[in-house]
A = this chain, B = another copy of it.
Amino acid sequence: MQTAVTIRDVARLANVHPGTVSRALNPHTRGLVNEETAARVLTAADQLAYRPNSIARGLKTSRSMTIGVLIPDLTNPLFPPIVLGVDDRLTRDGYTPLLVNTGSDPARERASIDAMLARQVDGFIAATARLDIEPLAVAMAAGLPLVLINRTFEDGSVSACTVDDRRGSELAVRHMIDLGHVRLGYVAGPQNVSTGHRRYLGFTAAMVAAGLALPPERVSYAGAFTEAAGAQACAAILRADPGVSAIITANDRLAIGCYDALTAAALRCPEDVSIIGFNDMMFIDRLRPPLSSVRVPQREIGYAAADLLLEQIGNEDTPPREVMLEPELVVRGSTAPPAR
Contacts and interface: CB of A to CB of B under 8 A. Distances in A.
A87 B101 CA distance: 8
Q: How many copies of the shown chain assemble into the complex?
A: 2
Given A55-B58, A91-B108, A2 B120 contact: yes
A287 to B, nearest CB: 6
A340 interface: no
Interface string A107-130: 010011011111110000000000
Nearest to A56: B59
A286 B256 contact: yes
For this complex, into which size category does the number of interface residues on chain A fall? Answer: 35 or more
B99 A142 contact: no
A166 to B, nearest CB: 27
A64 interface: yes
A118 B54 contact: yes
Interface in A1-32: 1-3
Contacts of A143: 1-2
Nearest to A95: B115
Nearest to A94: B115
Interface stretch (A76-84, A184-192, A216-224, A319-327): A76-84
Interface of A: 1-3, 51-56, 58-59, 62, 64, 74-75, 77, 80-81, 83-84, 87, 91, 94, 96-101, 108, 111-112, 114-120, 142-144, 256, 282-283, 286-288
